[in-house]
A and B are shown apart, each in its own frame.
Chain A
Amino acid sequence: MTVSSRATDTRTADTRAATTGPAAPGGHDTTPAPPPAPPKAGARTARRLLGLPDPAALRRMGSIGRAELTLLLRNRTALMMALIMPFFMAAATYSVSREMDLAEVGLSVGALVITGGIGMILLFVVYSNVISVYVARREERVLKRLRTGELSDGEVLAGAALPSAVLALAQCLLLVGIGTAALDIGFPEQPVTLLLGLLLGPALMVLLAAVTAAFTRTVESAQITALPLFMVSAFASGLIVPLETLPDTMADIFRFLPMTPVIELVRGGWLGTLEGTDVLRALAIALVWTGVAVFAVRRWFRWDPRA
């Protein structure tokens, strides 16, 4: 196919469009795009060394994220759950925690409720919501369709989780603001540690949501399959009952649950109660869970509806 004959084809098509109106399929440019130029090797290597996704990948994830945001705003039930439930649960924690002897472990009721609330946000807004998103898109064969495009598997999953993760992060920052301004918990003592917790938390929840989605057949059954992590996290990861009030052996075991290091980083980072080794241990546990979740997603995640 020569360049000149391509130009002729296009012109013929245009002429036809003029006579048959814009709806005719021949009225559009039907020539393929020229092959893309290879990306600049230097810039690509630099990005890879820094572990950053390239701009095209960010654009693709943003596009999926935008579509998912539209869908979230149209799904009244999911939206209400995401906006109200974490705060409702935090309020419930408040009435429970007033019965506890918190002064002994150096926690105020406000600090426990607000940091526990961040955990509730991670569970309700990220974990539970993202399971439903993944299962719904899989059953609608959307994931299958998206995989035929330029997106990598990771971009599909990350893009679909983006609105939930961003909404959760905004709610967490709102809680930090409320806690600092209204509940005299004071400014975060170790803001970097707090921030690490706030970033690791949603990432880990998204991955665990993908693992759970692999074993969830329908959107309705997600309420059941999400329950184990919900219950374990709420009662054993320090969301409602601080680990410090539990017997030592129990607390030592509960430290290895997926949500515990996130809460420790958030709570300790805010109140400044974490030693350097505690921070490292929490980070290590969170990263191990992340690694396990990545492995499980690669191994078990299904892109096709069950036959």
Chain B
Amino acid sequence: MNERENVIEVTGLRRRYGPAGPDGFEAVRGMDFTVRRGEVFALLGTNGAGKTSTVELLEGLAAPTDGRIRVLGHDPYRERALVRPRIGIMLQEGGFPSDLTVTETARMWAGCTTGARPVGEALEMVGLEHRAKVRVKQLSGGERRRLDLAMALVGRPEILFLDEPTTGLDPEARQRTRELVRALRAGGTTVVLTTHYLEEAETLADRLAIMRAGRIVLAGTPDEVRAAQPSRIRFTLPAGLDAGELPAGIGEVVPDPTDPRTVEVRSRSLQRDLTDLLLWARERDVELTGLDARSASLEEAFLRIAESDAGAGEAGATHAEPVGAGA
């Protein structure tokens, strides 16, 4: 009964499409991480960061170019017959025959699955029981996603892989899917999910990893990832003052390149630095217009990583050390 048992272990993972050299493309460029039994692990990243390429390797749909993967102690590609009965997969773009009904589709899938749960139960779990007799081609995009999720749940998986499970769902269905993930986690299922929605990762994930260009650039619990980011204070100085006159030691002062009087302070200790700043302002009788102070958020961490992606490419490498990855 080891609660810290790793159900997924990844070391030095690489995946290359096409030949070596400029004609090929390396989507996964050296990833190391572990997922522990019973936790929800989220992979975040902009489009093209390599999330789906990574998840496909974990699912055993393709062999990695390099590196080692163990899922439940086995190689998911070479030993897929041992791994597949114990995992559930929801692809980002999977399909079902358009002329079968929802129930017929689920029955087909259950017939291919060891220890399948009753078809009706799987459909109820995703709230699709009222559409049981409807043909797949008449389902909405969101309903198809939920059918796909129901199929992933049919085998009562120990590990559930969800590639963007809530994309295309309306807010109510999205909420419902999140509640389902929580219920599964409470029941002991390990969940690996990719998502575009930061608040989804923030509220669901026990641990998350933010990917950029095939690498993990930031990883840890949502709190750890947030804590790794500086808080931010923004304001505009009155005419005649410039950023050089601000008190020393309030964090990194970054003037706006287009308007040097508008200042952003990146702070590791928001309360202390803000107090220093405000005391300074009262002493000098300076009005800080548009004063705005906010704690670090996951969104900010994500945007900074995305920005560094658009800009200097490898400049974000300062974050390359996973935060608390071993915690």
Contacts and interface: CB of A to CB of B under 8 A. Distances in A.
B155 interface: yes
Given A22-B124, A36-B115, A56-B114, A9 B96 contact: no
B251 interface: no
B95 interface: yes
Interface string B103-134: 01101111111110100010011110100000
A288 interface: no
B247 interface: no
Contacts of A294: none
A30 B187 contact: yes
B286 to A, nearest CB: 55
Interface residues of A, number: 46
A35 B61 contact: no
B112 A60 contact: yes
A67 B100 contact: yes
Interface stretch (B21-29, B82-90, B198-206, B310-318): B82-90
Given A28-B124, A63-B112, A70-B104, A145 B94 contact: yes
Given A67-B100, A150-B85, A25 B180 contact: yes
Main secondary structure on A side of the interface with B: helix
Main secondary structure on B side of the interface with A: loop
B81 interface: yes
A62 B111 CA distance: 8
B164 interface: no
B127 A25 contact: yes
A74 interface: yes
Interface string B12-39: 0000000000000000000000000110
Interface stretch (A135-143, A171-179, A185-193, A252-260): A135-143
Contact of A1 (B3, B97, B129): B3
A25 B157 contact: no
Interface residues of B, number: 54
Contact of A2 (B1, B37, B93, B189): B1
Most chain A CB inside 10 Å of its own CB: which residue of B148, B184, B189: B184
Nearest to B188: A1
A59 interface: yes
Nearest to B154: A149
B259 to A, nearest CB: 46
A1 B97 CA distance: 39
Contacts of B291: none
Nearest to A138: B95
A18 interface: no
A32 interface: yes
A140 B189 contact: no
Contact of B94 (A70, A144, A150): A144
Nearest to B151: A145
Interface of B: 1, 3, 37-38, 59, 61, 72, 81, 84-86, 89, 91, 93-100, 104-105, 107-115, 117, 121, 124-127, 129, 148, 151, 155-158, 176, 179-180, 183-184, 186-189
26 contacts: A1-B3, A1-B188, A2-B1, A6-B187, A22-B124, A23-B124, A23-B127, A26-B183, A28-B183, A29-B156, A30-B184, A30-B189, A32-B86, A32-B158, A35-B158, A59-B112, A63-B109, A67-B97, A67-B107, A75-B99, A136-B97, A140-B96, A142-B96, A148-B91, A150-B84, A150-B112
